[in-house]
Structure 1
Amino acid sequence: MVVGGLMGRLVGHVVQWVVLSYPDWSVWGTCPAVGQATCIQPGVYGLIAAGATMCGVTRLSVTLAVILFEITGSLDYVLPFSLAILVAKWTADAIEPLSIYDLLTEMNSYPFLNNKHKPIFTTDLADIVPRVRRHRIIDISSSPLVKATVLRKKLEGLHRAGELDGGLPIVRNDVLVGLIPAPDLEFALDNLRDEESSLCLMASVPSIDDSDDDIHGVDPTDFTPYIDPAPVALDIRSPMDLVYECFVKLGLRYICVLRDGRYAGMAHKKTFVKYVRDLEIRDGHI
């Protein structure tokens, strides 16, 4: 809007100078007959150009027109505002159908699902679930204590895979008992005094008396406050329509997958978005 306002103001001053320099042109009508001034207001040109520029970039239309004539405090300029925004939108759509936000989403490969266009699925969740990768889970079958160095390596594996907003499922005897998000795990590991020799508690132990926390303070090796004990999980035979609704309406970043009650993998939103785009390209929607 600033760039458009500057350009519009410049055009307004140019038009004002032309009117003052050639007041006898019939095209101006009675505009120059205001003494030493003219009826040209460069500020109005600036507002119109600012709205047109922002509409061309963001594709806002009605909302932007309302914002502009509310700025002026009157309805005198509703018609030029609306016409400028309408022409700007038509011109921008003819050059590039997508707005700058849609283009940035595609360029940066953000996992965004458009809820206005739902694909037609004929498969189930098993098509996008990779095999169980042992380096992507935290196994506490033998002990709820896990070395901090092991957790750091698993976290770095998530970062290398580009899943900065992912998580590590916690499994006991192949049964999902919780999940710790990657940002929370990184925060907890950074708070350890000695990461090389620390053992982190990844599950609640009934034998530990909670009154010890009041005496000695919060234990930094206790990661149970960061663990989600009931993450969203679906059966591997769930229809893809249900998976789509979970990602779009619940805003989930990942879904744990179960097979007959046992952990079978994890479906990340980025993987699902890639699957949807491949489906749309195959069906000719893109």
Structure 2
Amino acid sequence: MEIWQSSRPDFFLFASCEPDTACVTPGTYAIIGAASALGGATRMTVSIVVIMFELTGALTYVLPIMISVLISKWVGDALNARGIYESWIHFKGYPFLDNRDDNSSSVPDVPASQVYSRVEDLVSITATGHSIQTLQDLLHAHAFRGFPVIDNLKDATLLGYISRTELEFALNSALTARKLPPETGAHFALQPLSDPASSLDLRPWMDGTPITLNAKSTLQLAVNLFQKMGLRYVLFTEKGSLKGFLTKKDVWLVLNGAEESIKNEELVGDGRGIYRSQETEQETGLLGAEEDVAEDRREEPG
């Protein structure tokens, strides 16, 4: 443009240019081109304009920057619906559920019970009958990022949910700050006869009101809950009894196809939400029991 203007100063596009004054500044085109490239890659609009204005202070060029960013976004959307960040998340297989996406057509019209991990397959913690040492052994044996807390194994009445981080901190604090021995009893329910000085009450560290759904809820309702509220897990109950557990990773695999993430295993559905490997003949949940899937799903048990 600079060479064009210098060779054809009488052209109508340059009619407003003053003589003996630089009419075309290549740096201006560089700023607008940089904003356009960034907008096309990230699909952001207002943020890009504000960032470019703050970097340069060139309020005069806000309008051309806005026009170039909008055009780059429209061209990018026409080529691919995902920006660079969404594409990278999808490429890496991260369980990202965008609340702007309408996945109603891709969500199977099935009950959530066919997808969530049943209580029999969960690693739950009972309210009583534990010590600091047994809870530490539980943490060492399982790498899940949280555990449902139930009254007992028979009724499985849901009392709450405790994350791995909270449980580890509570146990370490009891051993170091309070100097309690490892065989000290620990409980998640009210124990009127227990001595607070010689026992560990873990109720303050437990989430007593986790997000729950009825066990007969549909998968569509669970997906909407994950998307709108940004949840990482949902517990399913029936009359207060724990029935199942669903994580964001489970939902992501359902929406994107479990076959993309479960490798080296042939799975066949039997119509009950249970899948059996033809190689091992072992019944597992929807996600199977493979190491790579277990690594991804360590944010929650199930």
The answer to whether the superposition gives a TM-score over 0.5 is: yes
Measured after TM superposition, the shift of residue 157 of structure 1 is: 5.5
Structure 2: stretches of 5+ with no match in the other structure: 261-302
CA contact (8 A) 1:175 1:263 kept: yes
Q: What corresponds to 2:190 in structure 1?
A: 204
- Say yes or no: does 1:23 pair with 2:6: yes
AA at the equivalent of 1:186? E
The CA distance in 1 between the partners of 2:194 and 2:133, in whole Å, is 24
Superposition pairs of residues 117-128 of structure 1, within 5 angstroms: 117-120=102-105, 121-128=108-115
Superposed CA deviations along residues 174-213 of structure 1, whole A, max 9, x for unmatched, are: 2111211222223223433278545433222233577x6x
Superposed CA deviations along residues 224-251 of structure 1, whole A, max 9, x for unmatched, are: 2111122222222112232223222233
- Say yes or no: does 1:99 pair with 2:99: no
Measured after TM superposition, the shift of residue 85 of structure 1 is: 2.0
Of 36, 40, 54, which residue of structure 2 is paired with 1:56? Answer: 40
AA at the equivalent of 2:125? I
Structure 1: stretches of 5+ with no match in the other structure: 1-14, 213-218, 282-286
Q: What corresponds to 2:220 in structure 1?
A: 241
> What is the DSSP-based 3-state SS (H/G/I as helix, E as strand, rest coil) of the residue aligned with 1:234?
strand
Question: Quick check: 196-205 or 63-72, which moved more?
Answer: 63-72
AA at the equivalent of 2:93? S
- Say yes or no: does 1:72 pair with 2:58: yes
CA contact (8 A) 1:135 1:154 kept: no
Superposition pairs of residues 1-286 of structure 1, within 5 angstroms: 18=3, 23-26=6-9, 29=14, 34-35=19-20, 38-61=22-45, 64-65=48-49, 71-74=57-60, 78=63, 80-93=64-77, 96-115=80-99, 116-120=101-105, 121-133=108-120, 136-140=123-127, 144-156=128-140, 159=143, 164=145, 167-173=146-152, 174-191=156-173, 192-193=175-176, 196-208=182-194, 221-278=200-257
Assess, with a 3 A threshold, how the Cα gap between structure 1 residues 24 and 51 changes in structure 2: closer, same or farther: closer
Q: What is the number of residues matched between the two proteins?
A: 245
AA at the equivalent of 2:222? V
Identical aligned pairs, as a percentage? 26
Measured after TM superposition, the shift of residue 52 of structure 1 is: 0.7
Assess, with a 3 A threshold, how the Cα gap between structure 1 residues 33 and 231 changes in structure 2: closer, same or farther: closer
The CA distance in 2 between the partners of 1:258 and 1:273, in whole Å, is 22
The CA distance in 1 between the partners of 2:87 and 2:141, in whole Å, is 29
Higher normalized helix content (fraction of residues): 1
Q: What corresponds to 1:4 in structure 2?
A: none
Assess, with a 3 A threshold, how the Cα gap between structure 1 residues 273 and 199 changes in structure 2: closer, same or farther: same
CA contact (8 A) 2:166 2:205 kept: yes
Measured after TM superposition, the shift of residue 87 of structure 1 is: 3.9
Q: CA RMSD in A?
A: 3.5
The CA distance in 1 between the partners of 2:221 and 2:164, in whole Å, is 25
